[in-house]
Amino acid sequence: PSEEHDGGPQRQDPRTPDTSSGDNPRQDPRTPHMSSSENQRTQTTLTLQLSCYNGSRYLPHLFDSLRHQTLHGWHCHVLDNASTPEEQSAIRTAVERARANGVPLTLHRVETNIGFAGAHNFLFAKHASDTVQLLNDDAILEPDYLQTCAEYLHDHPECAAVSGAIFRWDFDHRNDSDGGRTTIVDTLGLAPRWTGAVVDVGAGTSHNDHDLTEPREVFGVSGCLPMYRADAVRQCGEHGDLFDGSYRTYKEDVDLAYRLQALGTTAVVLPHAVAYHRRSVGVGITTPRSPEAVYYSYRNHLWVLATHLNIRTLFWSRAGVLPYELAKAAYGLVHHPRFFLRALRETRAHWPAIMQKRAFVRMLRAARPSRGVSQRPDVDLAIVMVSHNDLNAACLASLAAARAATPCSTAVIVVDNASTQYDANVVVSEHLPDATTLLRNGDFGFGKSCNRGARTVRARHYFFLNPDTVLTDPRILDILVSYLDAHPGVGIVAPKILYPDHRLQDTIRRFPTWFMPFIQRTSLRDSAFGKRYTAHFLMADDDHTHERPVDWAQGSALCIRGELWNTLGGFDERYHMYFEDIDLCRSAWLAGYQVRFLPSVVLVHAHGRQSARIRNILVNIWRTKETRWHLESWVKYTWKWRWQPLPTREPEKET
């Protein structure tokens, strides 16, 4: 459940005439005079920015939460965004009291309200910090909020935007023992929907409805309390500003999320960094907005769509955008014709700037593959395992022996999805005391869990290994690393896998046709056609004793080049389980890399095939969740790759 997102709610008065015209205030000669005499650009590692419009009653609570932060060495710039005379005095008093209590603040004031986007662009020009934290005047932070966010950005150079878990603050009950803090979610990041709308994840729901144990990669972070990497923000802006000033208020953070994504960076929500934002409280309750707020939200939504969505997206992952927007336009024309026609007029007038920005964003996307993490890899090989009641001590022991036998630097990450039959920490530490174990409180799927594990370390290569496998030769890791180093055109290496009784497992296969599940899961498999198709699909009659290129290999043991992994962005997380390995291999071929079968590397795998034990497909769907996952992933895979030819076996890179 989510609310449509409008950009980190602020009470910047939308009724104030828009005098900024979308320009950077420091470049616009019409920018109102700043009352503060402190015009110099400060240089600190972290700078906080606060735009305040008639919000003096909240400031003592915000400043008190800043005073108790465990991270020090930052400075906060506060902008009085043309508040009323009474509020101006109250804001100055609150700032002076906070200064007296040791909170490092600089107060600025403008005579004309320049909106949320303009205000933060104004403040962004006042410093040259590495990192910038945006504040809401009606929010409070837990003491470790700044430190948790800043440390994550420092440790993860691929990430440009972080935010904590933001819950709703019942300001009317601020004098209660809990200070008005609730467990109702305000935002857990931004997520795009198939209609084109971008929403606050979890808005209005209980914290019990979400996995709040591990950092979560999201499309973007809300404008309510985000922390940004300043150099990334400057790179993805046409003029080096924080926000697009023409948005004025609402959706400016959505636009920034798209631009940072085009730059090739990630955004993450940190559930252990907690803050509270004043909203109407109660599960499912939303806050009403003024007509002008609705107008800016709608107009800027149109600008986001025009800037960032391409034709392919409109007819694929955002297939609902056109019918949804046409329905909204019809409704707006009937019920709010003045607002609707005004939005069209302003969009038409701003169209050249939108197209110029669209070209700039396209340029960012085109340059993205050449970007990437500048830091050197932490290790040569990262071994990632995902477990759910199937962690095998024999696997861990064989992995420990292989690590001891290789001169390569290695790291092991075990992602445990709520196993109940053992304590994963205990089992892993017994054999691999230096391994990282990530405990999760639910089953979040194979691909997503692999991505989560891989994000914890930078590696030249990644080895995804099922926890119910056994490495038969301690030289395996060394062979895999050496092979990829010697063959730059190979992106993925798949070992030979045997059953415990040493029969060959059919883990290398041809790309499936759209009707594959009907053959595999019905009595058609026993027909003459079904037998021929199955043998062809499973490569049953092909040579399994020599190294060779293959269409794809099963994800139970895959070693992938780190460069390719970063380019592809990992497994496609739309697949809960099954088909993510086919999708990854197909993407690797399209990226110009080979997928190769390496029979000199042999593993034993206790493979159960839970999803195909019952031939009656309807009974199978009813009885086993694995079958439902398989068919769901088949539909997603077929839809994703529809009308696209299969990749050729002619790679662009030499092996």
Q: What is the mean pLDDT of residues 199-204?
A: 91
Tokens describing residue 622: 């009813």
Rg (alpha carbons) of the chain, rounded to whole number: 27
* 553 vs 79: CA distance, rounded Å: 57
Average pLDDT over residues 150-169: 94
The neighbour count for residue 443, using CB atoms within 10 Å, is: 16
pLDDT tens for 480-527 read 999 999 999 999 999 999 999 999 998 999 898 877 776 776 777 678
pLDDT at 158 over 60: yes
Architecture of domain 3-370: Alpha-Beta Complex (3.90)
The arithmetic mean of pLDDT across residues 39-64, rounded, is 84
Give residue-wise pLDDT tens across range 544-597: 889 999 999 999 999 999 999 988 889 988 888 889 999 999 999 988 899 999
CA angle 397, 399, 405 (to 5 degrees): 110
Residue 137 and residue 78: Cα distance in Å, rounded?
Answer: 10
Is residue 258 a contact partner of residue 361, using CB atoms and an 8 Å limit? yes
Cα angle for residues 317, 318, 319 (degrees, 5° grid): 100
- Please determine, for residue 169, whether its predicted confidence score (pLDDT) is greater than 80: yes
Q: Contact, 229 vs 260, CB < 8 A? A: no
| Mean pLDDT of the 49-59 span | 96
Per the CATH hierarchy, to which homologous superfamily does domain 379-640 belong?
Spore Coat Polysaccharide Biosynthesis Protein SpsA; Chain A (3.90.550.10)
Helix axes 291-308, 321-335, angle to 10 degrees: 150
Residue 541 has pLDDT above 90, yes or no: no
- The tokens describing 170, both together, are 């019942």
Which pTM value belongs to this model? 0.62
Distance CA 238, CA 241 (A): 8
pLDDT in tens, 587-623: 999 888 999 999 999 999 986 544 444 455 555 655 6
310 CB-near residues (< 8 Å, 6+ apart): none
Q: b or e along 509-527 (b: 16 or more beta carbons within 10 Å of the residue's beta carbon)? A: bebbeeebbebbbbebbee
Q: 317: buried, middle or exposed (CB in 10 Å: 19+, 13-18, 0-12)?
A: middle
Query: Would you say the CATH fold of 379-640 matches that of 3-370?
Result: yes
Stated as kind and residue range, the H or E segment containing 227 is strand 227-229
Domain map (residue ranges) of the chain? 3-370, 379-640
Is the torsion defined by CA of 570, 573, 574, 579 positive or negative?
Answer: positive
